[in-house]
Structure 1
């Protein structure tokens, strides 16, 4: 049975446990869940609580055209680029240089260097996938069911003036269902985190 975390402190304790076993080696924590579940909120909290941690936003590795179209495996998430530019160098102890997607320019930005860190927290949909196998020391699933996560995500977007109802209905929710059926990201997680008010699957 996958262990549950009821608080950010529980997730921090799990990271500390991994760090103790890794004997000083750099650690990558993957945070995933359905869109709107609260991945970014958890990732920000972890970086604030874990010494030597830095966050990598999955949104910086989204390809807009593909992320706005149906796909069975969330191919809008540029997993290979995440791995080649950041995860592999980071885990090897090398400097990681990457390019964020610049949404205003609709192109990749200038190369930048990942901040010095001992713990890297990556939050995104679609990352518990075979293309990133072997990259994560701890995989945390934000355990909010799809209907509730979608409700939260749509409410958040509306509050920010981003009206994406058709994308949620016609693209993102079907993509989530297909990805879950094909790759069982919840089942691949090492830890299920249930945020306050969450509804686990």
Structure 2
């Protein structure tokens, strides 16, 4: 599937729904989730992006876990995804990485389509709130290499975290939840 086909699929899914839809994009760290999400939002009419990094607990996401425990899926679903789909007013709090705490509440945006990109998103706690699931289909080694390079270019030395926490978390999440297999679309980002 190419990008235009993916955008057309999103539009068709929205046209068939009687409410706004949520497109979930997941993949390994460094797989291109954010890049794909930004491109989709730019290409689609009346679409918004919800940054998955706003729903990471910075402390728990830096520890090894079999289910990406640092991903606050329950908060994302309860505060954003369900209210968005149900077209009801709600507020959410992004994690402010500079302040090291949750930021002040902001209203959930309204649109026809919300695109959310997040590692560990395709988990049983979040899947029911997603109308279309897209896996950024690139192997773990390539994605990790990209992630490390991105971090280095931004002046962040996360090599130890990639090796000791994030890469093992990806492998454990794969074993437990098979996110690539549950995705409706496997979008090549290699």
Q: Same fold (TM over 0.5)?
A: yes
> For residues 133 and 171 of structure 2, what CA distance do their matches in structure 1 show?
20
Unmatched 5+ stretches in structure 2:
none
User: Partner of 1:64: helix, strand, or coil?
Assistant: coil
Kindly indicate whether residue 179 of structure 2 is the aligned counterpart of residue 188 of structure 1.
Answer: no
Give how far 1:194 is off.
0.6
Match for residue 125 of structure 1? 119
Structure 2 distance, partners of 1:154, 1:133, is: 28
| Residue of structure 1 aligned with 2:160, choices 156, 166, 175 | 166
Confirm or deny that 1:155 pairs with 2:149.
yes
Match of 1:71 in 2: 65
Where 1:139 maps in the other structure, the secondary structure is strand
Give TM-score scaled by structure 2 length.
Answer: 0.97
Q: What is the rounded CA distance, in whole Å, between the counterparts of 1:25 and 1:111 in structure 2?
A: 24
Cα deviations across residues 43-86 of structure 1 (Å, max 9, x unaligned)?
00000011110000010011011000000000100000001100
Alignment match of 1:10 (pick from 5, 12, 27): 5
**Ranges in structure 1 where 5+ consecutive residues have no aligned partner:** none
**In structure 1, distance between residues paired with 2:71 and 2:148:** 20
Residue 100 (structure 1) aligned with residue 94 (structure 2): yes
Question: What are the superposed Cα offsets for residues 136-179 of structure 1, whole Å, 9 maximum, x if unpaired?
Answer: 11000000100000011101111111110000000000000000
Structure 1 segments (4+ residues) deviating >6 Å: none
Q: How many Å separate the matches in 2 of 1:35 and 1:100?
A: 19
- Provide the C-alpha distance between the structure 1 equivalents of 2:188 and 2:178, rounded to a whole number of angstroms: 17
